[in-house]
Chain A
Amino acid sequence: MNPTRWIAALLVTLSSFAFAQGNLEIDSPAIGALKSSMQQRHARLEPLYAAGAVGQASDGTVALRDASSVPLAQRGQVNSLIAAENADRLALYREIARANGHPEWETDVRSTFAQRWVDRAQSGWWVQKGGAWVKK
């Protein structure tokens, strides 16, 4: 085998690893389904975020922040929205870790998301920082 071939093989190998490093696989069918389910739910959660009833918790979930801003009759509905959103979020973290062949990354994926949900929350929304709720 001539050296040019060796070098070519080396470069191809390196670039494929570099690519694997640069991106996480997030296009699996399971992830796609979770994304669209969360996207649809967002239309109903957004007014609750804006009203401060529900906030982005520091653990990568959403949480009821101010129950008093939700009329009593709707509290059950809001609680089940929160529960459904959190189930999807936790499944999403698990699926991303699994789709990348590292189920043990789940907690790392979760804390990365937790940080990004908080950082990217829109102004007026409430986020949890160090245990306290802060309005953005």
Chain B
Amino acid sequence: MSPLVHKSIAIVLLLAVSACVTINIYFPAAAAEKAADRIIDEVWQLREGESSSPTPPKKEGASQ
């Protein structure tokens, strides 16, 4: 492995890390939305499947 390759890999690594750090200072809107939904699910108890549907869609023995 030539020292040039070492150097260039080191530079790429540094650039990548600094890019990530730079991005991370911006507000992660999509992640915040996911977090909000998780909390709203819990607070409003909206877990899929057990939400009380006012009109039961299909019940066994439904006429017609």
Contacts and interface: CB of A to CB of B under 8 A. Distances in A.
Interface string A1-34: 1110011011001100100111110100001000
A24 B44 contact: no
A39 B32 contact: no
A77 B39 CA distance: 25
Given A39-B43, A120-B44, A3 B1 contact: yes
B37 A116 contact: yes
B33 A116 contact: yes
A117 B40 contact: yes
A120 B40 contact: yes
B1 A21 contact: no
Contacts of A122: 44
A24 B39 contact: no
Interface residues of A, number: 34
26 contacts: A6-B6, A10-B12, A13-B13, A13-B20, A14-B20, A17-B24, A20-B24, A21-B20, A21-B23, A21-B24, A23-B35, A24-B32, A26-B38, A26-B39, A35-B42, A35-B43, A38-B43, A42-B44, A42-B45, A102-B27, A109-B36, A113-B40, A115-B33, A116-B33, A117-B40, A120-B37
Interface of A: 1-3, 6-7, 9-10, 13-14, 17, 20-24, 26, 31, 35, 38-39, 42, 92, 96, 102, 105, 108-109, 112-113, 115-117, 120, 122
Interface of B: 1, 5-6, 9-10, 12-13, 16-17, 20-21, 23-25, 27-29, 31-40, 42-46
